[in-house]
Structure 1
Amino acid sequence: MLREWQMERPKLLLSIHGGSENFSLSPKVKQTFSKGLITAALSTGAWILSDGINTGVSKYVGEAVKTFGSHDLRKRNTVGITPWGVIDNNTDLIGRDAFRPYYPVGNPFSKRSCLSGFHSHFLLVDDGTQGKHGCQHGLRQKLEKQIQLQKIHPRLNQGVPVVCVVVEGGPAIVSTVLDYVSRAPPVPVFVFKGSGRAADLLAFLHKHTSVDRQLKTDIEEDFLARIGDVFALDMAEATNLYALLLQCMECLPAQLNIHSSMKTYSIYASVLNP
């Protein structure tokens, strides 16, 4: 990526996770996320990673770049790591050492997604599946760990910090968060309260388990029902997901941060100088 695309070595990696289907954010949360993300990226020389599609949280990443990003395209280090099988008109991209025009306008009758036109680079992951998300996660995880090993400066013994940012999201996001906070060293996770689904469940549990890491019995029953309602799960599935959510709280809870204010961007940048 540094050699072929002449990308500048990142000083921070912002890994954005959330829902892949379209969802609505309140104007306040959208403004907080968009401005905070781009301010952090531009002020620290960060790379932004997302799924790179023009739906869900990746679409909001693209809109943030469009609204607040630098006009200098060389500074737009926004990388989409995208499953090949979910991309609409993906055959238009096939070629070797050739310029292949791609128009990010989707067919309204297609079940596939377009690439986000406001991402600057893409890594397309093909495991043979069609219309299924998930095959990109292994590559993304390995890439993030490899980037962490890189030095910010030749004379400094500090690797590239990684920050996970969660906006909305389905049940799989809980396992993603658990993976980040369980790593050695753990990766800070910033959850956007008010963005919906998984993010709001994490925010609620974080607030109500801050003392002894357990919910009170009456709150626990309501929370299990809420998990089931949010994700359309039966009681057994909701209980299993609740166990994963509790593990997120138990694994170095200081690494799990809930944000809903315009101060978020300064917290991103503080990762470089803890």
Structure 2
Amino acid sequence: RPSLVISVTGGAKNYNMQAKLLRAFRRGLLKVASTTGAWIVTGGMNTGIMKLVGEIVEMNPSHRRRIHLIGIATWGCVAGRDKLNVYGKTVEYTKSSIERRGTAPLEPNHTKFIFIDDGSEEKFGGEIEFRACLEKAISGNFFGTRCRTTSYVELQTSATTATTSSLHLERSVPVVLLVVEGGPNTVRTVHEAVVKNNIPAVFFEGTGRCCDLFAKAVRLYKEYIKPIEDAEETSQ
């Protein structure tokens, strides 16, 4: 059972992060994962930010504390998936010499994989909804339970319900979505996690594309919209 789940999403294409940002990202991710026993979740492919996370995990200085890196991928997008279509056997997966458009090899430093077969082929993003639901199930609505305001009626619940809720919170695991760069599927991932499943997101500003767009939107909200909302609450 992890103490924390870090779900990393972002660009799936070849991506070169600025040296300063890369050092900060690598240092922070390794420190958190190696000291807290956190699980890291990605899309599992050997491209873009997923490949970068795999390479960072490979650099883990603590050999006694293995970092759990879990890839959740769309089955129809896995290059050479025919080699994995077996049951009860151990197979050697090697990177295919020929990759078709819409496919990618698996990143070798991931410790576990979950494949989502939605019937599609060579179409990335089929795993997004499942991934968000899985992360919500792991979190047990960790943040939603804490952020919810309590009404007078809710305070009238029985002692049994209160005890059940306490046990539920004890089993909950905090999950956070870490966004680095990214395109349309990253926007979908953020929407599924934040809007639909109440999972908080951290945007690594400066990495480009939709990540910077989200970060700018958050700043504009804090600067222009939140003061108005706070003033309205105060006046009520």
Structure 1 155/80 Cα, relative in aligned 2: closer, same or farther at 3 Å? closer
2:128 alignment partner, one of 120, 137, 143: 137
Aligned partner of 1:20: which letter? A
Q: Which residue of 2 aligns with 1:115?
A: 106
Note the residue ranges of structure 2 that are not aligned, 5 or more in a row.
143-166, 230-236
Distance 1:127 1:88 in 2: 16
Q: Secondary structure at the match of 1:97?
A: coil
Percent of paired sites with the same residue: 36
Deviation at 1:148, TM superposition (A): 1.5
Distance 1:155 1:141 in 2: 19
Deviation at 1:38, TM superposition (A): 1.9
Note the residue ranges of structure 1 that are not aligned, 5 or more in a row.
1-8, 215-249, 251-274
Q: In the TM superposition, what are the counterparts of 1:1-274 in structure 2 within 5 Å?
A: 9-68=1-60, 70-72=62-64, 75-103=66-94, 105-107=95-97, 110-111=100-101, 112-149=103-140, 157=170, 159-182=172-195, 186-213=198-225
Is the Cα contact below 8 Å between 1:54 and 1:116 reproduced in 2? yes
Structure 1 26/46 Cα, relative in aligned 2: closer, same or farther at 3 Å? same
Q: Which residue of 2 aligns with 1:240?
A: none
Is the Cα contact below 8 Å between 1:17 and 1:173 reproduced in 2? yes
Greater Rg over alpha carbons, structure: 2
Deviation at 1:173, TM superposition (A): 2.3
Q: Secondary structure at the match of 2:225?
A: coil
Deviation at 1:197, TM superposition (A): 0.3
Aligned Cα root-mean-square deviation (Å)? 2.6
Distance 2:189 2:179 in 1: 10
For these two proteins, the number of residue pairs brought into alignment is: 203
Distance 2:118 2:190 in 1: 24
Q: Secondary structure at the match of 1:144?
A: helix
Is the Cα contact below 8 Å between 1:52 and 1:80 reproduced in 2? yes
Q: Which residue of 2 aligns with 1:5?
A: none
Distance 1:117 1:209 in 2: 40
Q: Which residue of 1 aligns with 2:149?
A: none
Distance 2:4 2:99 in 1: 39
Deviation at 1:106, TM superposition (A): 4.1
Structure 1 108/97 Cα, relative in aligned 2: closer, same or farther at 3 Å? closer
Q: Secondary structure at the match of 1:123?
A: strand
Distance 1:32 1:157 in 2: 32
Distance 2:217 2:141 in 1: 34
Q: Secondary structure at the match of 1:164?
A: strand
Distance 1:52 1:10 in 2: 19
Aligned partner of 2:55: which letter? E
Deviation at 1:107, TM superposition (A): 2.6
TM-score, normalising length: structure 1:
0.67
Q: Which residue of 2 aligns with 1:257?
A: none
Deviation at 1:166, TM superposition (A): 0.0
